[in-house]
Amino acid sequence: MKTSLSKKHDFDAVFDSQKVYRLVLEALSHPTKVVSIQEHANKLQGSNPAYLALAMTLLDNEVSFNTCENRQLSDEISSLTHATRTVVEEADFIFVSEAGDWVAVIEHAQCGSLANPHSSATVIVQNKQNSGAPLNQLTFRGPGIDARATVLVTQTVKEILELRDAQCYEYPQGIDLIFVSDEGALFAIPRLVSFDGASQADDSFSFPPFLQALRSLFEEPSKLKEVE
């Protein structure tokens, strides 16, 4: 008889989830700020511990998710959270682990409505930096950013943001993005945050590990103030 995944890990569904939640909230309230969930992800066993830590924090049996046909990840998330599996077009949370999947996800993820923009999808993307690949300098602006914030991002992040903007969402519609590395470094770009152009960075610029985030909380200033 197999032991369920939920019995194999040391991640506490209450205490660890609360800590990851506050880290995600901090990342969402301060777009481009990098936080680390590695300590908590290391307590999980599975194909992608960082994704599982986020799933156990953000998902429950009242929301839906999609893993882009990653069956193993889908089974693990379902076992841990009891969230509903569904197609990309209807999913509340979408976990992208393969580079070839994010184009279709960005193009088809639900972007909310004018009456309920917060009903849009949150897309969680694995952020990998290929050795020797150039970094891109982007300047972000929007809620949670004091004037502007200039950071370095991977080519994947840049292309995803460009494709998101190309969807021409009607304000305030859009999708929220959370980027997380294999090491658990995470940052978020909520749907109301935009960026200006891009240029390749020179070697003198220091690159923060990566970026991360959450979603409907972004429309609730009273909750955002808790992390200020």
CA distance 113 to 132: 41
CA distance 175 to 159: 15
Q: 28 near 218, Cβ under 8 Å? A: yes
CATH of the domain at 31: 3.40.50.11310
Confidence (pLDDT) at 7: 54
Task: Tell me, yes or no, whether 1 lies in a domain.
Answer: no
Residue ranges making up the domain that contains 19: 10-128+157-191+210-216
Task: Tell me, yes or no, whether 57 lies in a domain.
Answer: yes
CA distance 180 to 68: 17
Task: Tell me, yes or no, whether 15 lies in a domain.
Answer: yes
- Give the count of domains, the chain: 1
Confidence (pLDDT) at 41: 97
Task: Tell me, yes or no, whether 186 lies in a domain.
Answer: yes
Rounded to two decimals, what is the model's pTM? 0.83
CA distance 82 to 59: 8
Task: Tell me, yes or no, whether 187 lies in a domain.
Answer: yes
Task: Tell me, yes or no, whether 171 lies in a domain.
Answer: yes
Place of tokens 């960026």: 195
Could you tell me which of 65, 88, 87, 63 has the C-alpha nearest to residue 76?
65
Q: 75 near 31, Cβ under 8 Å? A: no
**Which residues of the chain, if any, have pLDDT below 50?**
1-3, 6, 200-228
Confidence (pLDDT) at 197: 66
Confidence (pLDDT) at 228: 45
Q: 161 near 31, Cβ under 8 Å? A: no
Question: Which residues contact residue 222 at a Cβ distance below 8 angstroms, ignoring those fewer than 6 apart?
Answer: none
CA distance 79 to 81: 6
Distances, alpha carbon 38 to alpha carbons 12, 19, 28, 80, 181, in Å: 14, 11, 17, 18, 9
Task: Tell me, yes or no, whether 174 lies in a domain.
Answer: yes
Task: Tell me, yes or no, whether 197 lies in a domain.
Answer: no
